[in-house]
Amino acid sequence: MPSRRWTWRRQFDQRLPEGAIMNVRYRVTLTASERAQLVGMMLGGKGAYRRLKRAQILLAADAGSADAEIAKNVAVGTSTVYRTKQRFVEEGLERALSEAPRPGADRKLDASDESLLVAVACSAPPSGRARWTMQLLADEMVRLTVHDSVSDEPIRRRLGELQLKPWLEKMWCIPKVDAEYVARMEDVLPAQAGVETCRRRVACRTCTSRCRRRTAP
């Protein structure tokens, strides 16, 4: 049954442009009792560290703070802020405070994810940033894919294999990775899981050869 807090609205077809907010906006509106519960948790310092972090996120979101501001003040990634808000809206307070089930936590990036990763790494970084960092790339992959979370380790490893170093070099071959780009990429790449190697080569070779030697001045 839809929650009373179900106030999100879709921006476009399950994808979002680089540098924009998530494709779905979740608005956190706490009841008086929920707010009192969270404030009590914070004042008493009761609960696991991550649970307290989520309480901070929800209180800040309820106060109207932007995701980026919350992430900075709570010292978490923007994807963590987004997912906490999402779980609150869709599943309620207790689920938002609890540790998310992790059956997919160890899922690796598939071929299309890796192709998208390379495209993002070869695009212009978010406004105000000189280069992509591992955390920025991880957050962007969460935004552009169905992954609930993405560790920076598989990103670092895959880019290392391709000799791409967006945190050291400017690799702006692709001006913008947006919804249209993602949709066209999915149309071009084969869907069969058995052709992953081919998919990697088709999507990565052009960008890799053009970008990886473009060092920053």
pLDDT tens digits for range 152-161? 778 888 888 8
Domain chopping of the chain, boundaries: 1-100, 111-211
C-alpha to C-alpha distance for 37 and 183, rounded to whole angstroms: 43
Amino acid code (one letter) for 80: T
Q: Note the pTM of the prediction, 2 decimals.
A: 0.42
Q: Do the beta carbons of residue 179 and residue 166 sit within 8 Å? A: no
C-alpha to C-alpha distance for 75 and 184, rounded to whole angstroms: 35
Structure tokens at 178: 């947006």
Cβ atoms within 10 Å of 148's Cβ, excluding its own:
17
C-alpha to C-alpha distance for 121 and 43, rounded to whole angstroms: 42
C-alpha pair distances (Å), 194 with each of 13, 78, 191? 27, 34, 9
Mind listing the pLDDT tens digit for each residue in 142-188?
Answer: 777 766 677 777 888 888 887 776 655 554 455 555 555 554 444 44
Q: What does the pLDDT average to over 64-86?
A: 90
